[in-house]
Amino acid sequence: MNAATDRRSDESTAATDTVWRDSELVNPHVSESKAGKVRSMFAAIAASYDLNNRLHSLWFDQAWRRHAVRAAAVRRGETVLDVACGTGDLTEAFAARSPAGEVIGVDFTPEMLGVARTKQATRRPEIAGRIRYEHGDAMDLHLPDASADVVSIAFGIRNVQEPERAIAEFSRVLRPGGRLVILEFDTPRFAPVRWFNTWYAGWLMPRTATLISGDQSGAYRYLPRSVESFMPRERLLESISRAGFTDAKARPLTMGICMCYRAIRSGA
């Protein structure tokens, strides 16, 4: 059985199979099969993904994406690459709220791309016509060197099997002077906010999101554990700088629940 057949088989059973065992959720980032598990997990929740995002972020996810678009400082006619685009929320935000010439959304889960393309078909031509979706992997982007002006990834870098390898790919495809923008969840450092967020994201949200989605894959148990066990912001900034970026900065959003990272591709 080849890899493509394996993938289709995994995806076809994703909606009913438990992807993550409890023992693996202690630190899901060390699993050698993390990429396949993440793909199966997102295949299982694609249809209800947007609804759960809105409800469980209290619509803050939309504000965070708008902030990312502003941070990217897109100039007229530039090319934006939105990696791990999922259902296309940030991709569409770039098309609607920036003067980008083209916005390319890349994701490795076909079911998520299917939702994104369905949404694209309902958008105004001036937005939909500037969006192109492609199946692809953050660690092996099928774009030429120095071909993008902006690379973004929203809530996806912790889901990548090898985040440092993906960041190196972002550096490769960016032109000198290009901007990297990363949105990612974080553990708030102000104790009362951290305590509330731990209860909300670790106890309440997994139950209500699983109920809404009918998910059996363990996706909403994975989410809080993947945030808690992911590299701290200081290490992520170091990884960005080592990959050929300058002026790497992290800005906390909504009391540190979300972080917006921004850096400039060196060589300008």
Q: What is the rounded distance in angstroms from the CA atom of residue 154 to the CA atom of residue 164? A: 16
Cα-Cα-Cα-Cα dihedral of 148, 150, 153, 158, to 10°?
80
Q: Which of 236, 219, 215, 210 minimizes the C-alpha distance to 153?
A: 236
pLDDT band at 14 (very low <50, low <70, confident <90, very high): very low
Q: What is the rounded distance in angstroms from the CA atom of residue 209 to the CA atom of residue 203? A: 11
pLDDT band at 268 (very low <50, low <70, confident <90, very high): low
Instruction: Please write the tens of the pLDDT for every residue from 49-70.
Output: 999 999 999 999 999 999 999 9
pTM score, whole prediction: 0.92
The two three-digit tokens of residue 111, written as one number: 């079911």
- All domains of the chain in start order, with CATH: 3-7+32-265 (3.40.50.150)
Residues 182/83, Cβ–Cβ less than 8 Å: no
pLDDT exceeds 70 at position 212: yes
Strand partners, 134: 106
Instruction: Please write the tens of the pLDDT for every residue from 73-101.
Output: 999 999 999 999 999 999 999 999 999 99
Percent above pLDDT 70 for the chain:
94
Q: In the prediction, which pLDDT does 12 show?
A: 40
Q: What is the rounded distance in angstroms from the CA atom of residue 41 to the CA atom of residue 84? A: 14
Q: In the prediction, which pLDDT does 59 show?
A: 93
Q: In the prediction, which pLDDT does 1 show?
A: 37
